[in-house]
Amino acid sequence: MSEAPPNPLTIAVAARRAAGKPLLDLTVSNPDVARLGWSQAELAALLGAPGCERHQPDPFGDPAARAAIASYYKAHGASVDPARICLSASTSEAYTWWFRLLCEAGDTVLAPEPAYPLVGILAEIARVRVAPYRLELRDGAWRVDPRSLQPDARTRAIVVISPANPTGHCLHPDDLMALHKAAPGRPLIIDEVFLDYTAGGETARTHAGDATAPTIVLSGLSKVALAPQLKVGWSVVSGPDDWARPLLARLEHHADAFLSVNVPAQVALPGLLAAAPARRAAVNARLAANEAALRATFADKALDVTVLPREAGWSAVLRLPAGVDELALALRAVAQGVLVHPGHYYDLPGDHAVVSLLAPEAEFAKGCEGLRVALAGV
């Protein structure tokens, strides 16, 4: 397989950096890069806690770590049995496990678009086909378009990202009804990594612990505890016992073959989750401030830019003036020293751009101004 050539935006960014010119990154998604991560001393203390020196493998992960995850969900109003929690090295690894456990090669999973371009890659690795369904902006909120749900005889699961990236869509009861109606009895794989980052301070609903329908909830330390470098994710298997019990047995066999989560990270997990709420509060404060700055920058109706509604997540979607070439805008923004993503990176329709709200506030405000200048010249 030949490598795809670099895209024009990648080439432009590399050229600017090679020239030593500054670039304000409004696509940053790593907490440590955004100066919201843990210090070396803090992580060293947690990773060096008693127990990290022993290898006592459990296919589903350290019981204390799973109990701490169950407590995290209890704080969200959900009752989760630690025996139904399984650790993995990341949510990406968990996706591939579930695709293999639920599907045969050539089977289909439904997955949303627009979305972060990951599920399709992982499905390809697992030799599973993705059939997209659409999210649409309706009455000021992102919702599932029921007409786009097209399961076939080989559909085995439905992927849901809630809260979604980049739209911030949170699964609405009407969405849930449409998904279950479209593919009765098929499990939902619900990625909730952005659960704690809602706009306006509301608490997003978790679907972990739902005993009424086959559900697999994914999350991990990357967003929940702002520690992507530790590579710990988890799955929560929810739903009726007669469905969950045999699936858990197969999952145990699968996980036992990998034992992929390192012991120090498992030992550190309870302490990380205990300290995480204050850190998430700091992130939410920054997201709110940066979203306000973005809206203020493009408040002038003459600019004809709309900042679309955000229920949750770290990103904001901008609808650009009709006819504006989003890639041309992104390239002009790089020339102004600002990096943003064209909307087509996420399968958004034409005339959109996506920015991360995670950058430090002063940098973000300066980047917004650079984007405004770039837009004026397109």
Residue 1 pLDDT: 41
Residue 350 pLDDT: 82
Q: Which CATH number fits domain 8-37+276-376: 3.90.950.10, 3.40.50.11540, 3.40.190.10, 3.90.1150.10?
A: 3.90.1150.10
Share above pLDDT 90 across residues of the chain, in percent, rounded to a whole number: 91
* Interval 187-199: pLDDT, tens: 999 999 999 999 9
* Interval 28-84: pLDDT, tens: 999 999 999 999 999 999 999 888 888 888 999 999 999 999 999 999 999 999 999
Share above pLDDT 70 across residues of the chain, in percent, rounded to a whole number: 99
Ranking 132-141, 194-203, 308-317, 330-339 by mean pLDDT, the lowest is 194-203
In the chain, where are the structural domains located? 8-37+276-376, 54-275
Choose between 112 and 200: higher pLDDT: 112
**Strands laid side by side in the 341-342 sheet:** 306-307, 315-319, 352-356, 341-342
Q: By C-alpha distance, which of 116, 363, 87 is closest to 236?
A: 87
Choose between 5 and 239: higher pLDDT: 239
Q: Give the DSSP H/E element, type plus range, for residue 163.
A: none
Q: Is 218 helix (H, G, I), strand (E, B) or coil?
A: strand
pLDDT at 180 over 60: yes
* Interval 243-296: pLDDT, tens: 999 999 999 999 999 999 999 999 999 999 999 999 999 999 999 999 999 999
Altogether, the residues listed in the chain come to a count of: 378
Question: From CA 252, how far away is CA 250, in angstroms rounded?
Answer: 5
Identify the band that residue 4 occupies on the pLDDT scale cut at 50, 70 and 90: low
pTM (predicted TM-score): 0.95
Fold for the domain defined by 54-275: Aspartate Aminotransferase; domain 2 (3.40.640)
